[in-house]
Amino acid sequence: MTQLRTVQVLGGGSAGSSSHVRSLASGLVARGVRVTVCAPAELDRLYDYLGAGAHFVPLPRLGDPATVTALRNACIGADVVHAHGLQASVRAALALSAPSCGPASGGPGGGSTSGGGRTPLVTTWHSRNHLDGARGGVQRLLERRTVRAASVVLGTSSELVDRARRRGARDARLAPVTVPAGRGPVCLHDGKARAELGAVDRPLLMAVGALERGRGYGTLLDAARSWRDLDPQPLLVIAGEGRERAALQRRITAERLAVRLIGRRDDVAELLAAADVAVLPSRREARSLLAQEALRLGVPLVATAVGGVPELVGDAAELVPYGDAVALAGAVRGLLEDAERRMDLAAAGRVQAGTWPTEDETVAHVLSVYDELAGRR
């Protein structure tokens, strides 16, 4: 039996999709699948796809026409190409439109297929940006083109599956993505982490995510301003980097807010475990990494009721409307003043996390899609 070969394609590489591809690569290789990961070079340094047993092809920066050529060459002989996110899907669809990307008996990596036809494209929608005006129109156009080029569209939430179908997907399926859990024990309310962050004798609130528009950090700072009357005043720590950092820091300084921007960290699980409450104020989310980590760790979560968040967390979090600083501030304040409610949410979070698919189940589901598509050819 011919060994299956898949190419995994990443564009910008959000933390969720990059972690998912690392998990997929490791699980697929363990099952005898040949995996090639095509992504910006910095992602391999962060996620070590080579260490997972995959072949790695670095892609040029976004906008470089050489990207499509590199992808086209990497896809020769692949049985299935799997793109993660809109940027990756656009480039993969362009690469696969070339005649040279059909089946081959000896492409790079030794992949081969039987039968004719173009290499199947699977695309996973992990999340989506909310763009207005002309940019929103371009996004919708690209979504329509990529889902129609895909043999199967996998959505990480029911909302994303419905959106793909509205865009014209021939086959759109729900495929919840479970990102890898921490590999080692994590100590809740770790004193060392709290001391490092400056929250030994005060409540610690934790938010994680790129400092970009649509992540709700302006609303979060509005809420932080209203917590100044609490004694002791809670410290809000935000882990992440992005284009909004300078503007957020100016406001934090000008308003003397008890907020720290600590940049991108590789110990987020440890920091989150030390928190009293986790906060997710985003405008759009599917299967939020922060929400998954918080519930697994038993850290009470306050999140916006958007996208796939309600489906993901069930009754195990406090949900508030996006952009409502009063509701957000009140939900956090209520948890800080109610230790019993925090304990109830911590227990409910662990139960809810137990209902999510495991890494092994996630890999098995994706592999079943690959086998199905490869068998059609």
pLDDT single digits (tens) 18-41? 989 999 999 999 999 999 999 999
> How far apart, in whole angstroms, are the C-alpha atoms of residue 258 and residue 236?
6
185, pLDDT greater than 80: no
The DSSP code for 358 is P
Question: How far is it, in rounded angstroms, from Cα 30 to Cα 148?
Answer: 31
Percent of the chain with pLDDT over 70: 88
HSE of 166, CA atoms in CB hemisphere, 13 A: 8
Would you kindly state where each structural domain of the chain is located, as residue ranges? 5-178+358-376, 191-353
For position 126, what pLDDT does the model report? 87
CATH topology of domain 191-353: Rossmann fold (3.40.50)
**DSSP letter, residue 236:** E
- In this structure, what DSSP letter does residue 164 have? H
C-alpha distance from residue 176 to each of 10, 79, 108, 122, 197 (Å): 18, 23, 31, 15, 33
Judge contact between 187 and 299, C-beta under 8 A: no
337: which residues sit within 8 A by CB, 6+ positions away?
A: none
Residue 365: CB atoms within 10 Å: 15
The residue to which tokens 């696969």 are assigned: 96
Average pLDDT over residues 157-168: 93
Which range is least confidently modeled, 4-18, 100-114, 193-207? Answer: 100-114
Lookup result for tokens 């039987």? 114
Q: pLDDT band at 109, cuts 50/70/90?
A: very low
CB 145 within 8 A of CB 163: no
pLDDT at 212 over 60: yes
Model pTM score: 0.83
Model pLDDT, residue 102: 54
pLDDT per residue over 76-88, tens digit each? 999 999 999 999 9
Q: Which CATH number is correct for 5-178+358-376, 3.90.950.10, 3.40.50.2000, 3.40.50.300, 3.40.30.10? A: 3.40.50.2000
Partner residues linked to 318 by β-bridges: 302
pLDDT, position 135: 75
Peptide bond into 103 cis (omega under 30): no
What pLDDT score does 37 carry? 97
pLDDT tops 80 at residue 179? no
Would 5-178+358-376 and 191-353 be classified into the same CATH topology? yes
Q: How does DSSP assign 283-324, residue by residue?
A: S--SS-HHHHHHHHHT--EEEE--TTHHHHHTTSSEEE-TT-
Q: What is the mean pLDDT of residues 311-322?
A: 97
Tokens coding 202:
């005060």
Q: What's the token pair of residue 148?
A: 């129609």
Distance of CA 179 to the CA centre of its chain: 8
Range 215-239 average pLDDT? 96
Average pLDDT of the chain to the nearest whole number: 89
> What angle, rounded to 10 degrees, do the helices at 86-96 and 66-75 form?
70
List b or e across 299-327, with b for residues whose CB sees 16 or more CB atoms inside 10 angstroms.
Answer: bbbbbbebbbbbebbeebbbbbebebbeb
